[in-house]
Structure 1
Amino acid sequence: MTDEVVLRRAVADDARAAADVWLRSFRAALPTVVRPHSDDDVRAYFRDVVVPARETWVAQAAGDGGIVGVMVLDEEELSQLYLDPEWRGRGIGDRFVALAKERRPGGLTLWTFQVNQPAHRFYERHGFTAAESTDGSGNEEREPDVRYVWRP
């Protein structure tokens, strides 16, 4: 079953809904990772930085029109890709990655936590390769991570 979902550039009014998708997705996918910021801090970051200053895209469901996914590009970095947990497995992530490759045809990089094995499988299926692993000392969560790279 394919649900009708439109990918579009985020506008200021989408910031809270996009942040809430991020929060729900993070909780579901990364329950062992300690978040360094409160929910309100995350919402403020999306409102004040992510949506106005980054290339932010949302997946909007038909019908109720709710935001069910968010993707953020920052230069060549795919810095965020989060889906509402109830909307995973419906091809939205695949569409976001295709869009990211279209928007950045020269290549992409991204970071994901080492504990997030489903993300590793997802990105590897889309042609990304692990380029670097760290002990997490360079990220706010202090969680070991992996940098992935895609080159055409």
Structure 2
Amino acid sequence: MTSDDVVLRRADDSDARPAADTWLRSFAAALPTVRCAHDAADVRDWFAHVLVPQYETWVAVTGSEVVGVMVINGGEMKQLYLDPAWRGRRLGDRFMSLAKEQRPEGLALWTFQVNEPAHRFYERHGFIAVERTDGTRNDEHEPDVRYVWQPPPAP
């Protein structure tokens, strides 16, 4: 199955648990050296009561399985996580195209400094690192970097 077989759609309440589980699997695989600040029950609660009902949450679905999640709030991409089996299969590219369509005026995001694959991914999509912090403002207390994407100027 390819990423073309995956449907990207807005999440509904029934997607909260599988989206949270995808987030948990992805976080563990992509960030093995980063301490997750919240246990699985808290993450599931956060998806069910905050992310899905209050933010623009998108899921990637194949069959009945959620294999990716993206969350946007205003001009900020809050989350972009893929099931580990779906990394490197262009699904992230599809999410990024969708995010830029939804926010053509620009996007910003934070990622951890240790997440070098994420840096390469975002930079490939035109994001520029604009700030680095020591992590005191995030729940994990992990040094992070802020990226910004601005659309090219109109000719």
TM-score (norm 1): 0.97
Matched, 1:122 2:129: no
SS of match in other structure, 1:109 = strand
Matched, 1:140 2:134: no
The share of aligned pairs that are identical, in percent, is: 67
Q: How does 1:28-67 map onto structure 2 within 5 Å? A: 28-62=29-63, 65-67=64-66
Query: What code does the residue aligned with 2:49 have?
Result: D
Q: State the distance in 2 between where 1:60 and 1:18 align.
A: 10
Q: State the distance in 2 between where 1:38 and 1:2 align.
A: 32
Q: How does 1:1-80 map onto structure 2 within 5 Å? A: 2-3=2-3, 4-62=5-63, 65-80=64-79
How many pairs are equivalent? 150
SS of match in other structure, 1:26 = helix
Query: What code does the residue aligned with 1:47 have?
Result: A
SS of match in other structure, 2:129 = strand
Structure 1, gaps ≥5 residues long = none
**Displacement over 4 Å in runs of 4+:** none
Q: CA deviation at 1:36?
A: 1.3
Q: State the distance in 1 between where 2:73 and 2:92 align.
A: 17
Q: CA deviation at 1:2?
A: 2.2
- Matched with 1:97 is 96
Q: State the distance in 2 between where 1:36 and 1:82 align.
A: 16
Deviations 1:68-117 (CA, angstroms, capped at 9, x unpaired): 00000010001000000011111110000000000001000000000000
Q: State the distance in 2 between where 1:5 and 1:34 align.
A: 30
SS of match in other structure, 2:33 = coil
Q: State the distance in 2 between where 1:151 and 1:26 align.
A: 27
Structure 2, gaps ≥5 residues long = none
TM-score (norm 2): 0.95
Q: State the distance in 1 between where 2:66 and 2:36 align.
A: 22
Q: State the distance in 2 between where 1:5 and 1:51 align.
A: 20
SS of match in other structure, 1:60 = strand
Matched, 1:107 2:102: no
